[in-house]
């Protein structure tokens, strides 16, 4: 019996990548609204992708310290299911965004060592989901999608009162091990299924989803 692990393919830039993700069995698709990212999409581009997404696949907008003006524009023009906050948003800001837009919020939290674990508990109290990601290097331009992983032993067996998703350096080759080590039931990938930064590879997407959905060893 296949695993029930849920998969998010993040950083889609066109309908071809969407079709690859959906065809491979992705449960979530992510659209990045962050100009520094090679995966950035315009609101118009995102609207086309979101409108082509079939029912049952959750559409996620990734933003980084976005103000209300940007969020107003995105939510008015792009049909969404989840807002993913991938910046330095405070718990109070998470609450504000949930209340203002009436959408579930997924808060990304970067992890590098044990000192970062307390933030997971803090955000689990205010967000609908948490994304446990690798903390980016201090000189990084991107808050995520850097292809970096963290020591999975830090969160092995840990659970929170809301659903959580594992991210950070996942690939078709390591996702099964990551799931086995952490107990994750949801996984997120971006750079790990690309042929080049921002260019999704259909074969890698299919391989990632197949690995994530396969029976654990």
pLDDT digits (tens, 9 = 90+) for 177-189: 999 999 999 999 9
Which position has the token pair 């959905």?
A: 213
Q: Is residue 1 part of a domain?
A: no
- E strands, 64-205, are 82-85, 105-111, 129-134, 164-166, 186-189, 194-196, 199-200
- 35 belongs to a structural domain: yes
Active site residue 188: no
How does residue 216 score in pLDDT terms, banded at 50, 70 and 90? low
pLDDT one-digit tens code per residue, 110-121: 998 999 999 999
Q: Is residue 136 part of a domain?
A: yes
Q: Is residue 96 domain-resident?
A: yes
Which two structure tokens, joined as six digits, stand for 72?
A: 């107003």
DSSP character string of 161-191: SS-EEE-SS--TTTHHHHHHHH--SEEEESG
Known catalytic residue at 67: no
Model confidence over 58-74: pLDDT tens digits?
999 999 999 999 999 99
* C-beta of residue 17 within 8 angstroms of C-beta of residue 168: no
The residue annotated as part of the active site, out of 128, 133, 139, 151, is: 133
- The answer to whether 33 and 11 are in contact (CB under 8 A) is no
Q: ∠ at Cα 129 (128, 134), nearest 5°?
A: 150
Q: Is the pLDDT of residue 103 over 50?
A: yes
Count of domains forming the chain: 1
Distance of CA 60 to the CA centre of its chain: 8
Q: Which of 10, 81, 173, 188 is catalytic?
A: 10
Range of the domain at 190: 6-213
Beta carbons of 7 and 208 less than 8 angstroms apart? yes
Percent of the chain with pLDDT over 90: 86
Q: What is the CATH number of the domain that holds 83?
A: 3.20.20.70
Residue 41 lies in a domain: yes
Q: How confident is the model at residue 162 (pLDDT cuts 50, 70, 90)?
A: very high
In a domain, 160, yes or no: yes
The whole-chain average pLDDT of the chain stands at 93
Residue 128 lies in a domain: yes
Does residue 108 fall inside a structural domain?
Answer: yes
Coil, strand, or helix at residue 86? coil
Helix (H, G, I), strand (E, B) or coil at 60: strand
| Residue 142 or residue 44, greater confidence | 44
Q: What is the pLDDT of residues 132-146, one digit of tens each?
A: 998 875 655 555 555
């Amino acid at each position: 019996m296949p695993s029930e692990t849920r998969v998010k393919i993040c950083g889609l830039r066109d309908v071809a990548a969407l079709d690859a993700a959906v065809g491979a069995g992705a449960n979530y698709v992510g659209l990045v609204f962050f100009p520094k990212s090679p995966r950035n999409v315009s609101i118009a581009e995102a609207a086309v992708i979101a409108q082509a997404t079939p029912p049952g696949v959750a559409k996620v907008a990734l933003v980084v310290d976005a103000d209300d003006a940007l969020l107003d524009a995105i939510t008015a023009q792009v049909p969404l299911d989840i807002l993913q906050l991938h910046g330095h948003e405070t718990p109070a800001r998470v609450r504000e965004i949930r209340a203002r837009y009436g959408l579930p919020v997924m808060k990304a939290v970067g992890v590098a060592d044990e000192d970062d674990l307390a933030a997971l508990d803090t955000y689990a109290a205010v967000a609908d989901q948490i994304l446990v990601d690798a903390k980016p290097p201090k000189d990084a331009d991107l808050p995520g999608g850097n292809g970096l992983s963290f020591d999975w032993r830090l969160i092995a067996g840990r659970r929170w009162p809301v659903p959580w998703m594992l991210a950070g350096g996942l690939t078709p080759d390591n996702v099964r091990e990551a799931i086995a080590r952490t107990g994750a039931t949801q996984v997120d990938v971006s750079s790990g299924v690309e042929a080049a930064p921002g260019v999704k590879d259909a074969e890698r997407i299919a391989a990632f989803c197949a690995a994530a959905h396969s029976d654990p060893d």
